[in-house]
Structure 1
Amino acid sequence: MIKAIALDDEPPALEILQSFCNRIDCVDLQKTFTKSEDALKYLKKYPVDLLFLDINMPAISGIDFCKNLPHKIMVIFTTAYSEYAVEGFTLSATDYLLKPISFIRFEQAVERAFAQWKSQNQNQEQQYLFIRADYSLIKILISDILYIEGLDDYLKIHIQNQKTIVARMTMKSLLEKLPETEFIRVHRSFIVSISKIEKVRNKTIYINQQEIPVSASYETTFFALLNKE
């Protein structure tokens, strides 16, 4: 699912975007902003996939805001002024919506963004994750993850030749971020990297000199996967 935010100095415009996003399954509008400085602070801390961006704002134009984005992000411009369209597309905008925005036109723009997002993810094959830990966003190469250990509301991400990272998140939320062909849950408290498994004896997995149990709830799926390899 696409993670998105919206920036527009007019609250009614944001309410329309929110209502439209609620009707589409592939986009999650996580936050809306009326002030550009607040949106920029959020983006620096929480990378998202898509930005709905008004162009004609009092403090800074959407065009200038787009040029100062802290990381690469898809942008769908929203504005009441058609003369900005050409400049918007020169910034490689995903789409350009003219107010008042119809739901059909909005849906087309989001579908275009989703196709672009899906293509990028397939090409990159999710090579890394950003995990919030120690008051920072820490970049982790997926290929370096050995296994994940769950401890109440915390996770310990065990990484090859690196310090273990402790993050406050759930097993389910992290598993959703990992490539399903490369990671599998084998226990209520363990997710393992399939490629890092050194051996399996009875119902115990060995990874990097660690013994990881396979619980009854997950053993059928796990051993069926091993038999396919």
Structure 2
Amino acid sequence: MNAIALDDERPALDVIEAFCSRIDYIDLVKTFTRTGEARLYLETNPVDVIFLDINMPKESGLAFFKSITQQTLVIFTTAYSEYASESYDVEAVDYLLKPYTFDRFSKAMQRAQTRWRTLHQPDGNNGQGSEPAQLFFRADYGLVKVTVSDILFIEGLDNYLKIHLHEGTPIVLRLTLKAILEKLPTTKFIRVHRSFIVAIDKIQSIRGRMILTGEEEIPIGSSYEKDFFSLFMK
């Protein structure tokens, strides 16, 4: 698992670096002392786990975590126990109260690894064992499960998106189309427009540069047209 750490105190980051170096399944790729720098990094770099201090000068760790669009696990690190209940509201993996020992840190990492494996477990019914049957996303300060086979199409709205399902109300997430496309099975979904991703097996017909899926018509963008039609020519 790839991780980053965010804390306004350098010695706290040194402890996390030292502890991570002793655990072979975690790779601490970057550390930050400012939320702005961490936010910019997360816009272009996928991360599995964030070690996050809560009590920071300009922006709390809780506010920072609620503001980012990337779906990632979080382990809060803080010297203040009164934030514990708030950390569980955002489905934190663990809450490390400073100063913590390596044994306590190791237990938090075991919990993170278990959660990570659950979120990335393969579909046992597809015969391939390589594509997920469900995906989990953070929404409304909790986790929502989406069954991949239920997705008709995904509509992008700035930094938000709507997942339109075969049945039920669309799910709204604070996420970009680029980020969700990285999580979807590449053999089952294709981006057809700057604002749309469609499930390939849910396409009912194609007329000109319009796709019919469910009861919706999805436009095919000019920059995506070649790749889309190449797929069906095969």
Going from structure 1 to structure 2, the CA distance change for 1:43 and 1:127 (only over 3 Å counts) comes to farther
Q: Which has the higher helix share?
A: 1
Question: Corresponding residue for 1:96?
Answer: none
Structure 2 contact 152–199 (Cα < 8 Å) conserved: yes
Amino acid at match of 1:45: V
TM-score, normalization: structure 2?
0.58
Question: Corresponding residue for 2:51?
Answer: 31
Going from structure 1 to structure 2, the CA distance change for 1:43 and 1:125 (only over 3 Å counts) comes to farther
- Tell me the CA shift for residue 175 of structure 1: 0.7
Residue 232 of structure 2 corresponds to residue 226 of structure 1: yes
Question: Corresponding residue for 1:13?
Answer: 15
Amino acid at match of 1:129: L
Structure with bigger gyration radius: 1
Bigger shift: 122-131 or 29-38? 29-38
CA distance in 1, matches of 2:165, 2:46: 31
Amino acid at match of 2:90: K
Question: Corresponding residue for 2:165?
Answer: 159
Structure 2 contact 4–28 (Cα < 8 Å) conserved: no
Gaps of 5+ in 1: 75-115
Q: CA RMSD in A?
A: 4.1
Which structure 2 residues correspond to residues 121-200 of structure 1 after superposition, within 5 A?
Answer: 121=122, 123=129, 125-200=131-206
Gaps of 5+ in 2: 6-10, 22-26, 31-44, 53-75, 123-127
Which structure 2 residues correspond to residues 43-54 of structure 1 after superposition, within 5 A?
Answer: 45=90
Runs of 4+ that moved beyond 6 A: 36-41
- Tell me the CA shift for residue 224 of structure 1: 0.3
SS at match of 2:224: helix
- Tell me the CA shift for residue 166 of structure 1: 1.3
Amino acid at match of 1:163: T
CA distance in 2, matches of 1:15, 1:40: 26
Percent identical pairs in the alignment equals 42
Amino acid at match of 1:217: S
SS at match of 1:72: helix
CA distance in 2, matches of 1:181, 1:195: 10
Structure 1 contact 144–159 (Cα < 8 Å) conserved: yes
TM-score, normalization: structure 1?
0.59
